[in-house]
Every structure is written in C-alpha cells, then in structure tokens.
Structure 1
Amino acid sequence: MVKSVADVMSHDPIVVTPETPIQEAIQIIAERRISGLPVVNDQGKLVGMLSETDLMWRETGATPPAYITILDSVIYLENPKHYEKQLHKVLGQTVQEVMSNGQMFTTTPQTPLREAARLMHEKKVHRLPVLGEGDRLVGILSRGDIIRAMASSEAEA
C-alpha cells in the first residue's frame, strides 16, 4: 500500500506567529527538541519558517562585507545588502525579523510519501509544511517522520 503524507505527518504542529518574541520561539525549539517551527498568520496560513539555521545568526554574528579603499572611497567586494540582512537576523527581536520567508516548499496530505521525500531530498529541506484546504497549515512532515515510516514498513514485512 502506498503511504501518503497524511499517514506519517505530525498533525497539529506547534506554530508561532510573526509577532512571537524570538526568545519564546528559541525556548519552544529547545524544550520540544525540534529543529524548526512553521510561522502562521491569524488565519492559520503559512507565512514562513523559523529554523535552527535562522537562529544560529544570533550566536555567530554577522560578518561585514570585504572592501577596499581607494582615494578615500570605499568599494565593497560583495553586496552590502547581504550584510544588512545578516545583521537584521542577529539583532531581530521577533520571529518575523529572523524567519526565512523566501521560497518555501510545501506539500499536501494526499501527496504520496515517496514524492514528498524526493522533494525534501532534492531541495535539501528538513521539513515540509503540509497545507490543507484554503492553504491552511494542517501538519508538518519531517525527515524523522519519513525514517519512522520506513522502519515501521520494514517491521511489517
């Protein structure tokens, strides 16, 4: 029998809002021993993800861009906007200031598990938000969920 995402996903995932204080989100991640949190708006729609990688900026800090000076002029060797983005993450006080909200990969409960696993592998993501009707977050699929499904399939065989 082909398993779907709904068969193995974590239902009712722990979520935060963009306004959640970053320290509160850090506590949730640490206490629940999870690697990331979906960020939803008031309607329950996904607006971003907060991952351990996003939070690492707070500890590592931002690296100023390399530059040279010629005749009292500063010439940046890389885009200073990248530094501004890093600095914003380091100093952020709310989830919205720190979360990733670029291209997000999602799945649906009906998607075959193999297809979702392939997407996670190809895109190098650790978790996929599962969206139901009206693009509302209904679950989350993690690599751990897939591994546990593989283990249970082997045990049944």
Structure 2
Amino acid sequence: MPTQVLRVKDLMTPEPVTVTPLDSVETVLNRLEERHISGLPVVNDEGKLVGIISEADLLFKERPIRLPLYLLLLGGIIYLEPLDRFIQELKKSLGVLVQDVMTPNPFTITPDAPISQAADLMLEKRINRLPVVDEQGKLVGIITRDDLLRALQSELVES
C-alpha cells in the first residue's frame, strides 16, 4: 500500500499571527513574547505577504553599524563592497517600524507542496519558517522547522 505524501497544508498553522509594515518594533516584540515564537509574517491591508520579521532582524538594532570598506583615490572614494548593503543595515539599525526592519520578499511555499520541498527549502536557504501563500500571494498559513520535526517524530513513533 503506497504511503500518503504529506503536504504543507497538512502541517501548517493556518491564519498565523501577523504584523503590518506600519506596526512598531515594540508590537513585534510583544507578539513574539506572548506567542513564544521567533518570527512573524508581514502582510499588507489586503492580506498579501510583503515580508517577514524574525528575531535576527530585530538583533540588527543592537549590533554596531559596520562601515563599508573603501579606498581614497585621487580625491574620490571607491567602495570595496556594495553600498546598498550598508544602507539596508543602517535602516535596520535605526528602524522603529516593521517596514524598516523586516526582510522583504521572503521565500514562500504553496499549501499543496510536499513537505519534502518545504524541508529542502528551509535547509538550503537556512531559514526557520516559510509563509504559505495562495496563487494571489495572500497568506494562508505558516510552516516552521518545528512543524516538520514534530511530523518526523510522530512518523518515527508510528513505525
């Protein structure tokens, strides 16, 4: 008898706790603490996913700003690394709103994808959570490494 392939929709948390781009960082901290979670999807007014914010994003506020390496040559500055990365880090360090600190355009997955695809994506991209979106980009759930590990544990117990 063939084994049933588990899908993301079988393990995801539907209707996850979210924040909006205009929420404060303080709101994020409160929701993370209240729910004992480490990240939140960021949605716009239509419920479409626009970003994700995690504890790692919030730690930028506590990290010292590192100036990009540069050379002075003939009275001009030549940057040895991308200046836009420095600008993004500066925004995160100074940010007080979610939109300043969040990671935009996060990796996502669909509800019908097999959980093996979710696991591969999390491992390959070194992320802990995947927002689950429908065809229109609307957030319908979230799946985390913990969800995958619980499924694996229950599968091992059953066998």
Give TM-score, length-normalised by structure 1: 0.89
In the alignment, does 2:132 pair up with 1:130?
A: yes
49, 52, 57: which one pairs with 1:49?
Answer: 52
In the alignment, does 2:13 pair up with 1:2?
A: no
Say whether the 8 Å CA contact 1:9–1:140 is kept in structure 2.
yes
1:52-131 aligned within 5 A: 52-69=55-72, 73-102=76-105, 104-131=106-133
For residues 150 and 53 of structure 2, the distance between their equivalents in structure 1, rounded to whole angstroms, comes to 23
Say whether the 8 Å CA contact 1:61–1:87 is kept in structure 2.
no
For residues 131 and 81 of structure 1, the distance between their equivalents in structure 2, rounded to whole angstroms, comes to 29
* Equivalent residue number for residue 153 of structure 2: 151
For residues 76 and 109 of structure 1, the distance between their equivalents in structure 2, rounded to whole angstroms, comes to 43
TM superposition shift of 1:73: 4.5
Structure 1 unaligned regions, length at least 5: none
For residues 110 and 79 of structure 2, the distance between their equivalents in structure 1, rounded to whole angstroms, comes to 44
SS in 1 for 2:136: helix
TM superposition shift of 1:2: 1.5
Give TM-score, length-normalised by structure 2: 0.88
**In structure 2, do the counterparts of structure 1 residues 135 and 72 end up closer, same or farther at CA, with 3 Å as the change threshold?**
closer
Q: Give identity over the alignment, percent.
A: 45
TM superposition shift of 1:72: 5.3
Say whether the 8 Å CA contact 1:67–1:74 is kept in structure 2.
yes
For residues 52 and 124 of structure 2, the distance between their equivalents in structure 1, rounded to whole angstroms, comes to 18
Say whether the 8 Å CA contact 1:18–1:96 is kept in structure 2.
yes
Counterpart AA for 1:44: G
Deviations, residues 98-153 of structure 1 (Å, cap 9, x unaligned): 11114x22111111111221122222221111112532111101000000001111
SS in 2 for 1:135: coil
TM superposition shift of 1:12: 1.3
For residues 73 and 107 of structure 2, the distance between their equivalents in structure 1, rounded to whole angstroms, comes to 44
Q: How many residues align?
A: 156
**In structure 2, do the counterparts of structure 1 residues 148 and 83 end up closer, same or farther at CA, with 3 Å as the change threshold?**
same
* Aligned-residue RMSD, C-alpha: 1.7
Say whether the 8 Å CA contact 1:45–1:137 is kept in structure 2.
yes
